[in-house]
Structures are given as C-alpha cells and as structure tokens.
Amino acid sequence: MLTALRLATAAIVAFTGAAPADPVREQQQWVLDALNVERAWTVTKGRGVTVAVVDSAVDATVKELRGRVSAGPDMTTGAVRREVRPGAHGTAMAALIAGSGADDGLVGVAPDARILSLPMAIAEEPVFSVPSEEQE
C-alpha cells in the first residue's frame, strides 16, 4: 500500500510541475524516493561521516565531490595512487553516495559525507557519465 501511495504521489508531483527543475535530478529522483532519503535527511545528511569507496579511484575534481575526497592506498599494491580515469565506476558510486548537488550535479544519499577513495585494480572497467571539470 505504501509503495502504491509513493508511486501515486510521484505521479502527482511529476504532473503538477513540483518535480526537480533540472534533468539530472529528474533522472535520479526515483532513486532518492525509493531509498526514502528525504526522511533519512531529517536525521542526518552524513556530516562527520567518511565512506570508503573500494572500487576504481574516485575523481576528486568532480564538482559534486570537490573538497570532500581523500586518497587512500591502492588496495592491490599498497601505494597511494591518485591516477584517475574520467567517468570511472568508483567516481560514479561516490557521487551516488555523497554527491552534493553542486552546479546541478548529483545529490547523493549522504550529501554532507566525505569519501575515502581506496582503489583496486579492475580489468575492463565500465565508464559512467560523471564529468570532471577537465571534461566540461
């Protein structure tokens, strides 16, 4: 019943024009709704929390993550690696976790959290569209 109510509410919001005003947020709104993040945000938005992303290296220049990414050691070699491929999976996941929404970017589940990038070697990694400043 609650799911049906959420779907009906989302449909009403979409048709009344109260939906997010930009395309990025319109595309991601259903995810935020499904995770019920607005209710979670009444408790916390992640301030004081650091989330480790064990994936490909996170691009700290992405606008919605700027100033909130720390580079940790490469989990396969132990070296602190800052080599980042644009559009890498780790960056996309970090934006979903802690994107601030800056400049119409993604709003993450915990937009005030920090990210600790712990890269691992990943063969044939998929590329996602989370543009860094160099790409814009």
Average pLDDT score over residue span 100-110: 88
Q: How far apart are CA 91 and CA 117, in angstroms?
A: 9
Instruction: Please state the pTM of the whole predicted model.
Output: 0.70
Question: Do the Cβ atoms of 109 and 36 come closer than 8 Å?
Answer: no
pLDDT of residue 68: 97
Between the CA of residue 31 and those of 4, 81, 102, what are the distances in Å? 16, 31, 18
Residue 84 CA from chain centroid, whole number: 16
Residue type, 73: P
How much is the average pLDDT of 63-91?
A: 84
Confidence at residue 24, expressed as pLDDT on a 0 to 100 scale: 63
What does the pLDDT read at residue 44?
95
In this predicted model, which residue has the larger pLDDT, 50 or 22? 50
Which phi and psi (to 5°) does residue 118 adopt? -120, 85
Spatial CA neighbour of 63 closest among 111, 23, 116, 15:
111
Q: Is the pLDDT of residue 136 over 80?
A: no
23 class by beta-carbon count within 10 Å (0-12 exposed, 13-18 middle, 19+ buried): exposed
pLDDT of residue 86: 72
